[in-house]
Amino acid sequence: MENSNASSNAGDENAPAESVQSLSISEQNQLSVRERFEIIRSIGEECIQEDELERLLANKPHPICYDGFEPSGRMHIAQGVMKVINVNKLTSAGCKAKIWIADWFAQLNKKMGGDLKKIQVVGQYFIEIWKAAGMNIEGGQVEFLWSSEEINKRAHEYWPLVMDIGIRNNLPRILRCCQIMGRSDQDELSASQIFYPCMQCADIFFLKADICQLGMDQRKVNMLAREYCDDIKRKNKPIILSHHMLPGLQEGQEKMSKSDPSSSIYMEDEEADVNVKIKKAFCPPKIVEKNPCLEYMKYIVFPWFNEFTVERKPENGGAKTFKTFEDLAADYVSGELHPADLKPALAKAINQILQPVRDHFNNDPKAKELVKRVRSFKTTK
């Protein structure tokens, strides 16, 4: 994120900015409803609906936010760093975050060849990364829940809900949700994969979620949950707060792909790996739109550090610190900031963010063994 430098917090150059860290409970209580709304709303590229979110915050000091992940291979930077940023913002605004480690769902979707033991190893690796990357889990505001365990504990609640959602929706409506699994409705699906959207829709109610904080690619099933509320005449619908999806690093890659290591930065990538991937990344001069390097700046580097410094030779403009992404984008569009200067500084910044994760996986025996096992697994689509 080699001759360039990204600025950071005084004291610990790898620490997230204060805006990324969670506030204490006493500080949360001092925030107005509007301030809490602004923090939470800043996470989403889309919010359905904003007035419902503001009303929720006015009436409930600690709303429940839900996000779910299939443990399906090595974790890329969007699942890692962006999730830490978003969860810490949510908890700073008083929310309780329930992170659903969707091991049964990964099995249904044939991840890791459908091997549940391997899937659960990957889930443990996910949790280790979030902790090492700075997710604020003190105070009990973040809860990691394994789908297999929770569903088995309360099967009498879960399965009737899944069945009711299935009864009330026709097959074409369920098939339109296949995008949530990284599938197309044109793919040849197993029966288990058709079952999956009904279960994910049920998760929202099972976990008593007020806010669904998932990526834009999960929008269709979240809308299914709101439609289900209409079917059962439920007034309080889950609010959908969909975050931006980071593109792959190569030209034309709309999203990162775990089957293509060059498309993304992994959370335990070595410094040299990050440098090479950013150096080879698509980064057209003077173009911000669909430029993955600029997207990394906007959604990872600036939220983490709140500023960004590029070191250049005097003849190339000298060192410059940008306080906002908009300032950086303006220089980039004008040609004042060239990809050859941006890329080394971006790689430097990303490496600073990832260093505590590397240290954890190098120094902690349990974590070291976990990542070794995960790397040995074959990633399946």
Answer whether residue 254 shows pLDDT above 50.
yes
Is the entire prediction scored with pTM above 0.85? yes
Per-chain mean pLDDT for the chain: 88
Would you state the structure tokens that stand for residue 280, as one six-digit string? 């080879």
Q: Using CA atoms, how far apart are residues 332 and 294, in angstroms rounded to an integer?
A: 9
| Statement: residue 342 has pLDDT above 60 | yes
Return the minimum-mean-pLDDT range out of 2-6, 20-24, 209-213, 288-292: 2-6
Whether the predicted pLDDT of 182 surpasses 70: no
pLDDT band at 110 (very low <50, low <70, confident <90, very high): confident
Cβ pair 309, 7 in contact under 8 A: yes
pLDDT in tens, 61-96: 999 999 999 998 889 999 999 999 999 999 999 999
Q: Tell me which of 243-252, 276-285, 327-336 is least confident.
A: 243-252
Residue with tokens 């008593």: 208
- Out of 26-35, 46-55, 98-107, 360-369, least confident range: 26-35
Q: What is the pLDDT of residue 259?
A: 67
Which of 20-34, 139-153, 199-213 is the least confident region?
20-34
Residue 380: pLDDT band by 50, 70, 90 thresholds? low
For the cut 80, the answer to whether the pLDDT of residue 2 exceeds it is no
Cα dihedral 365, 369, 370, 372, rounded to 10, equals 140
Q: Looking at 66-80, 99-113, 165-179, which range is the least confident one?
A: 165-179
Q: How confident is the model at residue 3 (pLDDT cuts 50, 70, 90)?
A: very low
Stretch 121-143: mean pLDDT, rounded? 93
Cα–Cα distance, 277 to 340 (Å, whole number): 14
Query: How big is the chain, counted in residues?
Result: 381
pLDDT for position 377: 86
The model's confidence at residue 179, banded by pLDDT at 50, 70 and 90, is low
* Model confidence band, residue 1 (pLDDT cutoffs 50, 70, 90): very low
Query: What pLDDT shows up at residue 318?
Result: 85
Q: Mean pLDDT, to the nearest integer, of 232-242?
A: 95
CA angle 15/17/19 to nearest 5° reads: 140
Angstrom distance (rounded) from CA 198 to CA 209: 16
Query: Residues 202, 167: contact at Cβ < 8 Å?
Result: no
For the chain, the distance separating the N- and C-terminal CA atoms, rounded to the nearest angstrom, is: 29
Write down the pLDDT at residue 8.
Answer: 35
- Rounded Cα distance between 208 and 98, Å, is 10
For position 181, what pLDDT does the model report? 60
Residue-level pLDDT at 378: 74
124 pLDDT band (50/70/90 cuts)? very high
Average pLDDT over residues 296-318: 91
Judged against a pLDDT cut of 90, whether residue 192 lies above it is answered with no
Q: What is the pLDDT of residue 178?
A: 75
Q: How confident is the model at residue 175 (pLDDT cuts 50, 70, 90)?
A: confident
Is the pLDDT at 340 greater than 60? The verdict is yes
